[in-house]
Structures are given as structure tokens and as C-alpha cells.
Amino acid sequence: MDALSWQVRRYDRITYETFLRDHLILNRPLILDASHTASWSAAKAWRIVAQPCERLCHEADLNALSRYGHHVVPVADTSTRCFSEFERDERPLRKVLDLWKAGEGQSLYVKDWHLLDLVEREGRKVNEVYEVPEIFRDDWMNPGSRVRDEEFAEHDRHGTSSDFRFCYVGPAGTFTPLHRDVYGSYSWSANVVGRKLWWFYPPHDLDSVKRDGELVFDVRELEDEGGGIKIVQEEGEIIFVPSGWHHQVLNLDFCISINHNFASSPTIPYLFEALCVSQQRVEESISDVKEMIQQRLGKNGPWEEEWVEEVQGLLERDAGWGWSGFWDMIWANTQKPPAPASLSPPRALQDQYVLEAIRKYRNLPCSRFLPAVNEVVDHVERAIRSAPAD
């Protein structure tokens, strides 16, 4: 095993307090052992005992996945690179399963399949697949059944409750290139079948995985693989990926995994920072539009309002959300916490994260031109300040 792999602690049991203190707040990875998924329905339904085998190992039961054969899923061809990703298309899962059963399609990787959302839309419950481990229940990005709640839907005009719960299925050798997760979120990933090899690179230490100033696609192209933390995730284990950590993942066996991107109050500074970076990129990419608006309305005229609106619109399309979605998410989750107090940060700490984000947001020049967003921010602040102390 790699010399640095000790940096990823493995737990057979962990309390929420330890998870919060040593991993959420310090932003460090961890692994939960296979006992955390042993009772999942998928752990029983999707595995066949393989033989002969030196260790206890399983093969994927592709027939069990056939019940989802009608789901149209994203499929990456990991033998064909396309810019910073692989070539992708969408097809009914049935077609990919048929290829695999015939021993073909060994480079195809079903990625970002919204299995759990589709199961819910079909009127069933996600417990036919899994159960979210307790320490990950304070999840501000996947509000689950609250999406159907009218009050939440009112605060969901900008797609903040899009689904970030995925299933990944692919043969040995398929892989996910070097990347970090969307929005500055955390993620967790559970191997239901098979083992994966992970390479981790902490934030702010990425020179070793760059070539000509650009991040490499596949760290295996580099001498010493960029010196990252390399760790094997065994079948049944769950890995926690901290915010902003780059990672690459290789399927060592035929793998089926469940992955969530998630956020909670300790993620707010990372989400905030990531949104500022995305906004700056959008502003730079359409600086010509800014000049056009300024010419039309005059540099001393009311150009900023139109410019900010333009930037927020593009940000929502490009990055998936803007300030409106960010504050809607905070409002919704502070009003209706997704997890009980025992599985969430203490109220005072959560308030501290939110109030700091309010302070920073109000210092952004764009915030002067977003009256509807500011109304939500004012609501959030008022709710915190008027709440009785615990």
C-alpha cells in the first residue's frame, strides 16, 4: 500500500461529533468499513459470489440491474477522450447490460445515472437500493422528499434541489479522470460491488499534477503519478471526499457504486468561494457584453443592473446555480433541517457559517443589484437573530 495512504483513516465505527470535527471541518477524507453497507438491499441483490477467489469477492449480478433496463443513462466511452472528459451518449441501460453480458463494451462506463431519483419518480422508495449512512444525513443538496413539499418548491425556482445522487456501473479498467467535485461540494461514494483505486490530491498542492500549467487528464501519465495519496476502496466500503480535493478513480473489478455529492453548513465557505470563482470566470468570458451595455446605457448610467442580471443568468446556466440558488438552499435548509440535531453541527456553529457568508455576500458589488436575492438573505438573517438560544 502507498506510503501516504495512512492519511485516509478507516473507521469501523464513527460518531457524528468525530466526523464533524476531524473530517467535515478539517476537510479530510475517511473510509467507513463494509459494515456500513452490509444491510443495504443492493448489497444483497446486486452481488453474486465469484469463484474461485482468494478473497471474499463478488461479481455484479447484471440480471438484477435489468429491472432498471428502461432507465436512459449517461454512458462514457473511456477509450475515447473528448476534451476534459470522455465521449458520452445516453441509452437505455438494457442496451449496455446486453453488451456486457455478451462480453463486449468493456470500455463503457455508466456514470451519473440518477437511479434514486428515477426510483422515487416511479413511486418507490430508495430503500430498495440503500440507506444514507447517518453521518451523511445533514445534506443540503439532496433534499429528498422535501422537493415535493410546496414550501420548498417555492424556494426551488433555480434548480437548487436538482438531484446529486448517482449510480456508477463499469467493468474493470474503466475510470474517472482527475477532477474535483461540483460547486465545491463534498461527496461520498459506496462500492456495492467490486474495488476501486483512488488517487487523492489535497487542494492548493496541485503543481505535481499539472503539465504546461494545465491539470493532467490521467495521473498515470505522470512519473510517480503526481505523488498523491493512493488508496484501495474495498467492496462495501464508503469513501468521503472532502471539498476541493482532486481525485481520480479506477475500477479494479466490475464495479457498481452509489455516489452522493453533498453539502452541509461547514461546506458553506467552500461553496461560497467556488461560486465567486465561477462568477469571475463568467464575467471574464463575456466582458465584451459589459462594454456593449456600458456603451448603450452610459458608464455613469444604470448599466450595472443589466450587467449583473446577464452574469447571474449565464452563471445559472453554466455553473448550475447563482446567488439566488445559493441563498434559496440556505433558507430552505435552515428552515427545515434535513437531519436531527444529533446528526448536524451545533446550531451556534451553523449560524456562524451562515452569518459569515451573509457578511461576505453583502460586500460583493453585485449584491447591490440583486433585490430579490437580498430579500431571502434578510429573511435568513432575521430568522437566525430572532431564534431563541438553544
Ligand X SMILES: O=C(O)CCC(=O)C(=O)O
Q: How far is the CB of 196 from ligand X (least distance, A)?
A: 6
Residue 146 or 179 with smaller CB distance to ligand X? 179
Q: At what angle do helices 323-335 and 303-319 cross, to 10 degrees?
A: 70
d(CA 212, CA 231): 27
Nearer to ligand X, 9 or 179 (CB): 179
- CA–CA dist 358, 142 (Å, integer): 22
Min dist CB 294 to ligand X, Å, is 41
Smallest gap from residue 247 Cβ to ligand X (A)? 6
Q: Verify binding: residue 283, ligand X, rule CB under 6 A.
A: no
Among 138, 139, 156, 181, binds ligand X (CB under 6 A): 181
Closer residue to ligand X, CB minimum distance, 241 or 268: 241
- Would you say 168 or 326 has its CB closer to ligand X? 168
Stretch of 51-59, 92-100, 181-189, 372-380 lying at the interface with ligand X (CB under 6 A): 181-189
Closer Cβ to ligand X, 181 or 283, answer by number: 181
User: What does the alpha-carbon distance between residue 351 and residue 390 come to, in Å, rounded to a whole number?
Assistant: 12
Nearer Cβ to ligand X (156/181): 181
Torsion of CA 316, 318, 320, 324, to 10 degrees: -20
Subset of residues 352 to 381 that bind ligand X, contact rule: CB under 6 A: none
> Parallel, antiparallel, or unpaired: how do β-strands 9-11 and 30-32 relate?
parallel
φ/ψ of residue 151, rounded to 5 = -60, -40
- Alpha-carbon distance 126 to 166, whole Å? 12
* CA dist., res. 364 & res. 221, Å (int): 41
Contacts of 60 (CB under 8 A, 6+ apart): 46, 47, 48, 169, 193, 194, 254, 255, 256
| Of residues 170 and 345, the one with the C-beta less far from ligand X | 170
CB-closest chain residue to ligand X = 176
Least separation in angstroms between CB 170 and ligand X: 7
Q: Which secondary-structure segment (H or E) carries 296? A: helix 287-297
| Minimum CB distance to ligand X, residue 231 (Å) | 13
Encoded one letter per residue, x for contact with ligand X by CB under 6 A and - for no contact, window 249-268 reads x-------x-x---------
Residue with cell 476534451: 83
> Would you give the DSSP letter of residue 212?
T
Which range in 45-53, 214-222, 241-249, 270-278 contacts ligand X by CB under 6 A? Answer: 241-249
DSSP 8-state class, residue 69: T
- Binding residues among 189-228 for ligand X as defined by CB under 6 A: 189, 196
| Grid coordinates belonging to 112 | 451519473
Identify the residue among 168, 200, 262, 321 touching ligand X (CB under 6 A): 168
Establish if 187 lies at the interface with ligand X (CB under 6 A). yes
User: Strands 72-82 and 85-92, how do they pair?
Assistant: antiparallel
CB of 72 to ligand X, least distance (A): 20
Cell numbers linked to 143: 433534499
Q: Of 137 and 196, which CB lies nearer to ligand X in the complex structure?
A: 196
The smaller minimum CB distance to ligand X, of residues 243 and 259, is found at: 259
Does position 169 interact with ligand X (CB under 6 A)? The reply is no
Q: Are 178 and 86 within 8 A, CB to CB?
A: no
Nearest approach, Cβ of residue 80 and ligand X (Å): 16
Closest CA to 143 of 133, 135, 155: 155
Q: 3-class SS at 80?
A: strand
**Residue 343 C-beta: closest distance to ligand X, Å:** 21
Query: Which residue's CB is nearer to ligand X, number 155 or number 260?
Result: 260
**Residue count, binding to ligand X (CB under 6 A):** 11
Residue 158 cell numbers, joined? 433555480
What is the distance between the alpha carbons of residues 170 and 151, in angstroms, rounded to a whole number?
A: 39
Applying CB under 6 A, the residues found at the interface with ligand X are 168, 176, 181, 187, 189, 196, 241, 247, 249, 257, 259
